[in-house]
Amino acid sequence: EDQVTQSPEALRLQEGESSSLNCSYTVSGLRGLFWYRQDPGKGPEFLFTLYSAGEEKEKERLKATLTKKESFLHITAPKPEDSATYLCAAGDGGFKTIFGAGTRLFVKA
C-alpha cells in the first residue's frame, strides 16, 4: 500500500539551529516527491518537486533532497518566520498523490 510518513510530528528549534525533517515514502512508480509549507488558516504553499534519487533543490534557507526511500527537508539557520507545518507528498504512477501528516516546526527567537 502506498504510504508517506513524516517525522518528527513536531520540532522545536532555536533561531539559527539547523535541522532536518524526514519524509519516508512507499509508492509504486514515483512520479514526483513534493514539499509544501502550510501556515495556520491557509492553503499549502508549493516549495519543491523532486523527481529522481540524488536530486536536490534549494530555496533560501531550505534544501530538499531525495533518495529511493526518503526525502529530507534541511533547514539552515532557521528564523521565526520559518515556523509552519511542512507537508510532504508522493505522486504515484497512477497520478494519485499521497500526503504525509506533516511536521509542525516552531522556531523560537
Partner 1 sequence: GAVVSQHPSRVICKSGTSVKIECRSLDFQATTMFWYRQFPKQSLMLMATSNEGSKATYEQGVEKDKFLINHASLTLSTLTVTSAHPEDSSFYICSAQDSDTQYFGPGTRLTVL
Please tell me whether residue 97 binds partner 1 under the rule CB under 8 A.
yes
Q: How far is the CB of 102 from partner 1 (least distance, A)?
A: 5
Can you tell me which residue has the cell 511536521? 103
Between 42 and 68, CB nearer to partner 1: 42
Phi, psi of 21 (to 5 degrees): -105, 145
Cell of 62: 531550505
Instruction: List binders of partner 1 among 8-67 (CB under 8 A).
Output: 31-32, 34, 36, 41-46, 49, 51
Q: Is the dihedral of CA 54, 100, 15, 57 positive or negative?
A: positive
Between 32 and 70, CB nearer to partner 1: 32
SS3 state of residue 85: strand
Pairing mode of beta strands 62-66, 3-7:
unpaired
Residues 83 and 37: their CA atoms lie apart, in Å, by: 9
Q: How far is the CB of 54 from partner 1 (least distance, A)?
A: 18
Q: Site for partner 1 (CB under 8 A): which residue of 87, 90, 105, 107?
A: 87
Interface positions with partner 1 (CB under 8 A): 31-32, 34, 36, 41-46, 49, 51, 87, 89, 91, 95, 97, 99-102, 104
